Structure formats: C-alpha cells, structure tokens
Structure 1
Amino acid sequence: MIFPNNTYQELNLYSNFAEAAERFPNVPIYFDDTLIGFPDLALETTYQDAKTSIIAQASRLKQLGIKKGDKVVIYKSPMFDTYLLAVAVSFLGAVPVMISFHFPAPIMTIMCDRLENPWMIFDQVTASKAPHITSIPSNQLIELEKLVTLEVNETPEQEFLPIDDISYMTHTSGTTGVPKLIAHSAQSMGWRTKWQKNIFDLMKQDELVAFHISPVHSRFNIGISSLMSKGFPMLWIGSSELENVDRTLTKFKPVALETHPNNFVQWSHLAKEKPELFASFNYFHSTFDAINKGTMEIFLNASSGERPVFMQVYGQSECGPMIMRFHTKESIETLDARNMGVGMPELTEVRIVDENAQVVPENTTGNIQMLSKGRALTYYKEDARFTENTYDLWWDSGDFGYKDENGDLFLLDRQVDLIRDVESTLKIEDLLLDKLDFLNEVVIVRGKDDIAQPIVSVVDNEDMDWERWWHAISDFPLLSKPLIWDYNDIPRTATMKVQRLKIEEDLKNQSDEKGA
C-alpha cells in the first residue's frame, strides 16, 4: 500500500490542540459520561470550547504553584480528562507523567521518588491511595474535584520546553515488576504522529471516530493529537462494560473504532448478538498487540460497509506503532494471526537476531529488534535499564518471532514467556479462542514442572464444554487441565494486557501453600 507522506512536525500537546481548534473550531467531541476534571464540557463539546477549558485549568494549576519544568503525575480514573489535564500541564511547560490508577501506593512511592519532588493530580478513584505515596509532599497533592472549583484569576502565557527535552512520560506495563517511566520528547513524539497521520489520511475527514484506549498509554496522546490535526469528530467510550457499549453505539454511528485487543475480545460476543451496533464501522484498529483471527472476523462480519478493514498494529511504548497489517473479510479466511505485517517505509522496521545480536536468515526464529524514528529517549532515572535493550539505533523488543521471505513479521511470544516444548503460547491462545466460542479469554502460562498451564474464562451464561476443549487441543503440545477463572479475576495492566508473571507467581504460591 502507498501511504501519504505527511510533513514532520514535533508534537507539543497544547500547541497541537490549539492549532486544531483554530482550524476546526466547531468539530465535536462526544463523551459517554461527564468528566470530573472538565464538568463544563458536559457530554458534548467542540475543539474550541475544550481548548478554552484547558487554558482555564492551566491557570488554576499555575495558581497552585506549578511552573515550567515541573513534573506533574496524573494519577486518576481512566477518562478523557486525563488527556485534557496533560494538555493543560503542557501549556505551562511542565511535564505530564501519565500513571495508571491501578498501581498501589507502595509502587507509586517508588515510581514518584524517581521524579524528585513531583506534583500529583488525583481524583476520587485514587483518593484512598494518594496520601500514602510518601515520595510526594502533601502540599503538592492536588485533588481534582477541588481544583475545578478554584476561580480563574488570569490567563497565563504558554511556556515551551526545547523540542529534544523530556516533555511527556508514560510507563511500561508493569507485567514484570515495578514499571519503568518512559521519557518522550516533542521531537520523538512528532515522528510517531507522522506515522499515525499517514494512516488517518486513508479515511474521510468528517467521519466519526470512536475509541476506548487507556489514557495513560503512549498510544493515546499520539492517536488523539493526530486525529485532531486532521479535524476528525471523536467519540470517547470511557466504560468498556457491555451495557455502556450497547447504549453508546445505539446512540452514535461511528465509522472507525480503536481499542485494545482484549477489549475487542470482550466486545466480540456483543458484536455477534447485536451486529447492528457495529454495522456503521468501516475501520477497526487494534492497538500495539496481537489479536486472534476469530475476533477480527466477528467485527468485519458485523460491518455493513462495502469493504471494511481491520488494521492490526504491533508496537511498543518505547518505539510507538511499528508494524501493521490490513485485514478484510476475504483475506481473513486464510490469515495466519501470528503474521503482524510490515513496517511503514522510512519510519519503522524490524529485524530478527540471535542471542549475539547477529541477524538471522529468513524464516529463522530469534529476538525481534525494532528501528523507529519515534523511539523514546530513555527510562527516567534508569538509563542503564534502557541502554541494555539498545543496539545502536535498534531496540530489543523482548519479543520472539521470525520474518518470512516476504519480509512479514511473525510474532510468537514474549522472550520471558517462552515455555518448554511450546513454540508459541500466543498461537495456541488464538486458535482456542477461534475454535471455542464459549470462551472469552485463554491465557497460557508456565505451570508446575514447567508444563503449560491454561487459564480460561467462560462467557456469561455459557458452560465449559470439556468435550470440545479436549478435542480442540488434541494436536497441541502438552497442556495441563485448564483452570477456570472469572474474566475479571485475571490480573491485567492499564491497557488490558494479562499479567502473566503475576499469574505464575500466584499459582506457585498456591502450590506452596498446599504443600506446606
């Protein structure tokens, strides 16, 4: 596919928002619930009105003492006002630090200690934890519900950081311990928006785009900034609960949807039961992770469009969106879901290397390394941990896979998740979800004696069909009898990634307790 070639422009969050508001002042933004931090926006606003509210919020933050160069942790409910607060912080030349509300106070204390005396904005969802974060002075804790009641005295001037300085931070998923803080600059984020704008140029400008993405994910600011620079109307879906998705998509008729792979899986049964909810969609977009074939097929079949497309994107927070593949109703029939596709010319590519970082021949498995113009700067205050993954301009993803003779990337597993005698746990999970429609989650982890242990979740009002299960795995490597867990009991990160190592640790602890 030939992509448009957008002009590179560094990304200052506020400047991008203001320029979009100037060009497209009346373009609407819709919400499925009111925002604690911006109650004046109600359930519908415009680019221009949202910009006015952002400036007012920046004025309040400045009154409290936030200034250029300060680090401001945004630790609150996962709603769209998380991003609007980051834009307000950016207006002041301060650095927004986006941290998931899931993390407990002890983990937050460690992360915030690296930031050296930061500020923190919290809300009712994190109010019970914020006062117990000992690395933040109590006078630098800002309760969002009280912040919005402060009178706006004056409009401050916008402050700017150098384009190659740290201007935004996100964090790693936390699937392997205390998350690392990923440092981004206006320059590095600019390359990512160039990648994203090339994608959006394939769509019509006036089409409503719906999204449900963790607002602390590095994907969020890139996606929203790019959407706004192109003038797209937006629908924010804050709650992933099926009732809310049903209600929201009954009211609105978006043309595009982006969410995390596990949310697509979560909503797939709704798409089968009520395909009319997704009939208006021509574009589906999965963020940064692999997704099984059956789930993509369900959404493509629900669309009433002439040629709906499911775009699968593979990437990492450290490098941004990297590898993409477009799926249609026709191509999905012969799809190998482990095939992630190819990079975007002149912006991203991958290579496969052995344990000595030497490139291996095609169709040979090895470690996946990424090359991206949008690579992050470092892990804040943990340069050594960042550097150990770099090989000159290449970044070691921690993933395992191969490239075929066409240059397509096949993702098999995380390097830390490899299990003896199992080529790809992800491939087995995909196949089981595709075959067994009574399941809404399958996770395979290392169990006792290093044997693969499936954890499964059954769809509401369905029963575990053991006969179909044993038939489905008859040709698979040795798997222990699956453990049946409730979907909500499977530990996840802010972006709905399964915390596999935590599951393994919990299983080991349970085994040790039984043996004691």
Structure 2
Amino acid sequence: MFLQRIANKGIRLGTLFDRAAAKHPASPLILDHELDIAPERGRRLTLTEVAALVDDFASRLWAAGVRTGERVVIHKTNGFDITLLACSTARIGAVPVLLSPKLDGATVAELLRRVDMPFLVTDQAKLEHDLPAEVSGLTRELLLTSGSHEGAIELASLAGSPRTAPARMSPDHPTLITHTSGTTGVPKLAVHTGRTFQARYRPQGTVARLVGANEPVAIHVSFVHSRMFTALPIAVLQGHPVLILRDDDPRTVGELFGKVPPGLIEAHPNTFMRWEELAEDPRAPLAKVKYFSSTFDAIHPRTVHRLLNASRRSGATFIQMYGQSEVGPIAGRTYSPRRGAEAEGRCVGRPFPGMTAVRVVSRDGKAPTKSSPGFIEVKSDGRIVTYLGEHGRWEKQVNDDWWRMGDVGYRTKWGCLHLLDREVDEIPGIDSTLEIEDKLFGRLPELTEAIIVPGPDGRPVPVVATRDDRPLDPVAWKSAVADLPVLAEPVQWRLEDLPQTATTKIKRLELQKHLQGQG
C-alpha cells in the first residue's frame, strides 16, 4: 500500500522532506560531515530541520532569479548538500542538473554547453582550483554555496528571502538530470521525469521495508547518482533513522556504525569491497546488519561472503540488483551466508515480474551462450526519456520498447541472466574478464582491486591493487592464475591512483589507454 501511494503521487523531490517530516518529525538524519550551506547545523538533523533547510534554499534560489522550468547545474565540493540543493531546485519547479565533484573542468565545461546557459551552483574552491574561466560565459549566473568570487552571487547573502510555495509539476516534466559514468568518454546527460522515477520505487522500495522502521538505514551512494533519489525518499518516508556517508574510509565508517549500528546498508560495489576489512574490526560494526543492498554493477562473491559473515543477524542477506542509471534496477538476486564465496558471481538474477523484462539478442544467429554471448536488452517504465542535447545517441540504444544496456551475456535454461562483460571491454579469446576478476579475488585475499584490460600487444593485462599497497606475492599469483587463460604479467597500482567514476567504478578504457601509452 505504501509503495502504491508513492507510485500514484510520483517522486516530488521538492516536497520530499515536508512529507517525511509530517509523518516522522523527529526522525534523525545523521551525517559524517558538515553541510557547506549550513555548517552551523552540525551532523545530526531532524527531518523537520531538513525540510526547513530545503525550503530556505529554495527561496534563496528564487531570489537569485531561478524560475520554474529553468535548469540549474549543481557542481560543488562533495557533500550531502548537493542532494538537498537538488530538492530545493525541484521545489520551485526548476530542473536540477547534477555533475559529480570528480569531473574535471574541461568535462564540466562541455556539459554546461549541452545544458545551454543554465544557472551554476558551485563554490569558491571549485572556481579557483578546478573549473576553467570560460564557465562564467557558459552560465546565466554563478551562485556560490560557500566562499566568494567576483561576479558571483553568494547564497548566504540571500538568507531571509521570502518563502515561495512549492511548484506542482506534471509527472512527465523533467524532474532531474544526472550523468552517466563516462567510462567510454564524455558523460551523457540522462533526463528523468517524475513518472520514470516513480517506476523505480516498486523493486527498490521493498528492500527498506524488510527491516523495522526504527532500524537505521546507512547510505553511501554518490550524491549526484539517480540511486540516491530513490534510496533516500524510501528511507525517510518510511521513518528510518538515516545515516548519510560521504567518506568510505573503513576507520571512520567503523566508528560511526559502532555508534549507530545500521540494519540495512546501501552502497556501491567498490565501497563494499573496501569495507571487507570491517569484517575483522573488533568493534563489530557490521554485527547488526540484516540486509546489504547494491543496485549498480555485479559484485564479487568474495566481498559478499566476508560481509555476510560479519553480521550476527539471523537470515542476513545480500541483495544485488542489476541495473543502469538510464533504466533503474532491472534484475535481482540474493545471497545468504551459505551462498557467498562459492556463488556464481556472473549471475545477476532475474527480472522483477510485472515491472521489468530482459532478453539477450544473438550476435551470430545462434542462441547466446557463455562462449558466444549476446546483447543484453531490457524493458522498464523507469527508462530515461532522452540524453540532453544528444537525442540521437539515446535513439541508437532503443529498439521499440527495448533498451540496449551495452553489456553482453546469456540466460540459463532456468532464466537467470549472466553478465559477462561490457561490449567495449571484451577481449578476444576470453569468455569474461569479470569472471577472471571474480576468481582472482577469491584466490588472493590481499587484492583490493583487479581489472583485466588489453595491453599494447592485445594480451590481457591484470592491473591489481593490494591492501596497504603490499607487494604482490609472485608465488601466490602464479598459483592463482595457473588454470586461467594466459595473462600478461600483473601491473600493480595504488588503489587511489586508478581512474574512477563518480560511483567508484574503474574507468577501464582510460586505464587501457595508459597501459598502451596513449594516456
């Protein structure tokens, strides 16, 4: 019944916290950092206080000249106020365009051109250290969340502006624009509407309902990712205390989870990989977790196994959903402690009955198999309506109601979807680079990352990172790869030096270009 009410009303970002506060006024939202727009608020706010903050900054944006239907790019130093500013923007009927703090200045400038003279919400640090001077000529107005800059309007100076009534927008009106990962070049701008977003609640909303309303939900998701705007509404509207994490450092996360033990955690796969060491933490920060949830890329079985065994809850479960920013969650599967390290990591589950559909299209006229995978295509009412400024690229991925994911795989006779690789990451002679990476993780506990990319001669090169940057043991490595396809000698990097997207995915093509001397 709860999820049906959400579906009927749509996402309505602008009044999200008003509605949550009306039901659960004192429910806390706990941060691991201060907000740049309101550092005096500290790290613990009630939903009532958050609602007032969103309303306040909506009035400041209006006072700065932002009007209904206009686009507001938000690109600032990382923090949860990115999400709150998106809600404030939507509250006055404008369209928030979220650009990751990790994007380089040239990419930001290119995306600003596509948005076509938007307002830009940023800060002094970004303007002075990251963004090129040309951004001022690509925007209608520069609005600062902190600091000062010549020609820019400081939002702090607009405190006390008259409040404005929330705008009511059609479900088919753009409600949010996010960007794709950019692993294959300049990111695309994905346009979401209230209607496409509401379709994503049904498969995702059931997860938060699996734990009691008084149990904390911890979220470590990129503040500019579409997943934040489904995970967060579900959690606050159901009344859960919510922990919002900017930092994924296991030491600080372990301390926070020790004080506020979550019953459910939503995070990126690479974040969960980093949190494997929390399983050995004497404070037992994962002891009360009932559900781990990840709605991004397939996760390595080793990570699942370690996290589940760190929980002391009966029936602890890892819920993995396969999806994409453009379509939302498409298929899902669960892991139990018994089905962890030995599970088939390439199996990403089955579609959600009555909500999503999956097919695998042959590339050679034969039924797709592991050795001859096909193109994965999906159906979902949560699909974006276009790529802003690049509708032709959007059309190339659409075939009637089917959307090509850019992945290759096959389905078993039992209907389980197996994801083998991204189309652009395939290496001749290897069935699945992802499968090899799964095996390396399972056999070498010291690995914190392993990526297989083509080297200068076309041979697959393993790029690896280890815990505490310890040198890779050559004897252990030789044993681990003995039954695998022939690989080049491993190349060891520091984890923090690997090129990453906003959701901490490794940019494989960028890494490949570096190895081939093109970067």
Please, what TM-score do these two structures have when normalized by structure 2?
0.94
Offset of residue 143 of structure 1: 1.2
Cα 1:37/1:403, change in 2 over 3 Å? same
Q: Which residue of 2 aligns with 1:28?
A: 28
Structure 2 counterpart of 1:134: 135
Structure 2 residue corresponding to 1:177, chosen from 185, 197, 200? 185
User: Among 424, 435, 448, which residue is 2:456 paired with?
Assistant: 448
Change (3 A) 1:440 1:64: same
Judged with a 3 Å threshold, the aligned counterparts in structure 2 of structure 1 residues 461 and 317 are, in CA distance, closer, same or farther, namely closer
CA deviation vs aligned residue, 1:206-261 (integer Å, no higher than 9, x gap): 21001111011111111111212222210011111232212212222111111111
Shift of 1:124: 4.7
Query: C-alpha distance in 2, partners of 1:125/1:430?
Result: 39
Instruction: Say whether 1:272 aligns with 2:280.
Output: yes
* Structure 1 residue 149: Cα displacement: 4.5
CA spacing shift, 1:190–1:40, aligned 2, 3 Å: farther
Give the superposition deviation at 1:438: 1.4
| RMSD, matched Cα | 2.0
| Cα distance in 2, alignment partners of residues 354 and 116 from structure 1 | 40
- How far does residue 199 in structure 1 lie from its aligned partner after superposition? 2.5
8 Å Cα contact 1:32-1:238 kept in structure 2: yes
SS of the residue corresponding to residue 170 of structure 1 reads: strand
* Pair 1:335 & 2:343 matched: yes
Match of 1:457 in 2: 465
1:312 aligns to what? 320
The question of whether the paired residues in 2 share the 8 Å contact of 1:172 and 1:181 is answered with yes
Q: 2 CA distance for matches of 1:6 and 1:158?
A: 23
SS in 2 for 1:48: helix
Q: Matched residues in 2 for 1:361 and 1:290: separation?
A: 20
Displacement, 1:157? Answer: 1.5
Aligned-partner SS, 1:374: coil
Aligned residue number for residue 151 of structure 2: none
Change (3 A) 1:275 1:343: farther
Match of 2:260 in 1: 252
Residue 399 and residue 135 in structure 1: after superposition, are their counterparts in 2 closer, same or farther (change >3 A)? farther
Q: Which amino acid aligns with 1:457?
A: A
Aligned-partner SS, 2:429: coil
SS state at 1:72 partner = strand
Secondary structure of the residue aligned to 1:176 is coil
Residue of structure 2 aligned with 1:192, choices 196, 200, 217: 200
- Corresponding position of 1:238: 246
Q: 1:389 aligns with which of 370, 386, 397?
A: 397
Evaluate the alpha carbon distance shift between residue 420 and residue 137 of structure 1 in structure 2; reply closer, same or farther with a 3 A threshold: closer
Moved more, 18-27 or 198-207: 198-207
Letter in 2 for 1:245: V
Look up the match of 1:514: none
Which deviates the most, 273-282 or 449-458? 273-282
Alignment-derived partner of residue 143 in structure 1: 144
Which residue of 2 is the match for residue 213 of structure 1?
221
The one-letter code matched in structure 2 to 1:251 is K
Match of 2:299 among 291, 300, 304: 291
**Alpha-carbon offset, residue 331 of structure 1:** 2.2
Instruction: Report percent identity of matched pairs.
Output: 34
1:134 alignment partner, SS class: helix
**Could you tell me which amino acid in structure 2 is paired with residue 142 of structure 1?**
L
Alignment-derived partner of residue 48 in structure 1:
48
Distance, in Å, in 2 between the alignment partners of 1:306 and 1:136 is: 58
Q: Partner amino acid for 1:465?
A: D
Given that 2:219 and 2:265 are in contact with CA atoms closer than 8 Å, whether structure 1 keeps it comes out as: yes
SS class of match (1:284): strand
Any gaps of 5 or more consecutive residues in structure 2? 147-153
Find the residue that maps to 1:109 and give its secondary structure.
Answer: helix
User: Which deviates more, 248-257 or 135-144?
Assistant: 135-144
Matched to 1:129, the amino acid is D
1:119 aligns with 2:119: yes
CA contact (8 A) 2:30 2:45 kept: yes
> CA–CA distance in 1 between the matches of 2:366 and 2:91?
44
Residue identity opposite 1:153 in structure 2: S
Question: Deviation string for 1:282-333 (max 9, x for gaps)?
Answer: 1111231111101111000100111111111110000011111111111225
Deviation at 1:205, TM superposition (A): 1.6
Question: What is the DSSP-based 3-state SS (H/G/I as helix, E as strand, rest coil) of the residue aligned with 2:45?
Answer: strand
State the partner residue of 1:100.
100
SS in 2 for 1:102: coil
**In the alignment, what sits opposite 2:150?**
none
| 2:480 pairs with 1:469 | no
1:158 equivalenced with 2:166 (yes/no): yes
Conserved in 2, the CA contact under 8 Å of 1:293 and 1:430?
yes
Matches within 5 A, 1:414-425: 414-425=422-433
Residue aligned with 1:324, SS:
strand
One-letter amino acid of the structure 1 residue matched with residue 39 of structure 2: P
Q: 1:203 to 1:349 in 2, by over 3 A?
A: farther
Provide the secondary structure at the position in 1 that maps to 2:442: helix
**Which secondary structure does the structure 1 equivalent of 2:285 belong to?**
helix
Confirm or deny that 1:203 pairs with 2:211. yes
User: Distance between the aligned counterparts of 1:469 and 1:368, measured in 2?
Assistant: 33
Distance (Å, rounded) in 2 between the aligned partners of 1:502 and 1:453 = 14
Q: Determine if the alignment matches structure 1 residue 167 to structure 2 residue 168.
A: no
Q: Is the 8 A contact 2:114 2:388 kept in 1?
A: yes
Cα distance 1:136–1:168, how it changes in 2: closer, same or farther (>3 A)? Answer: farther
User: How far apart in 2 are the matches of 1:300 and 1:237?
Assistant: 21
Distance 1:417 1:300, change over 3 A: same
Task: Write the letter of the residue equivalent to 2:309.
Answer: N
Find 1:497's aligned residue among 479, 502, 505.
Answer: 505
Preserved CA contact (<8 Å) 1:93 1:158: yes
| Closer, same or farther: CA 280–149 of 1 in aligned 2, 3 Å | farther
Distance 1:283 1:6 in 2: 23
Once structures 1 and 2 are overlaid, which stretch shifts more, 50-59 or 30-39? 30-39
CA shift, 1:204, in A, is 1.6
Cα 1:195/1:41, change in 2 over 3 Å: farther
Displacement of 1:26 after TM fit? Answer: 1.2
More displaced stretch, 31-40 vs 184-193:
31-40
TM superposition shift of 1:203: 2.3
Counterpart contact for 1:279–1:305, Cα < 8 Å? yes
Alignment-derived partner of residue 64 in structure 2: 64
How big is the shift at 1:131?
A: 5.4
Q: In the alignment, is residue 18 of structure 1 matched against residue 26 of structure 2?
A: no
Letter in 2 for 1:493: T
Say if 1:136 and 1:219 are closer, same or farther in 2 by CA, change over 3 A: farther
Does the 8 A contact of 1:456 with 1:484 survive in 2?
yes
Establish whether residue 76 from structure 1 lines up as the match of residue 76 from structure 2: yes
8 Å CA contact 2:122, 2:144 repeated in 1 = yes
- Asked if 1 retains the 8 angstrom alpha-carbon contact of 2:425 and 2:453, the reply is yes
Distance 1:129 1:138, change over 3 A: farther
Contact 1:131-1:138 within 8 A present in 2 as well: no
Residue 351 of structure 1 corresponds to which residue in structure 2? 359
SS in 2 for 1:501: helix
Does 151-160 or 385-394 show the bigger shift?
Answer: 151-160
Q: Give the superposition deviation at 1:38.
A: 2.8
Q: What SS class does the counterpart of residue 33 from structure 2 fall into?
A: coil
Q: Which amino acid aligns with 1:52?
A: A
CA distance in 2, matches of 1:125, 1:289: 32
User: Which of 485, 488, 498 is residue 496 of structure 2 equivalent to?
Assistant: 488
Q: Could you tell me how far 1:386 is from its partner in structure 2?
A: 0.4
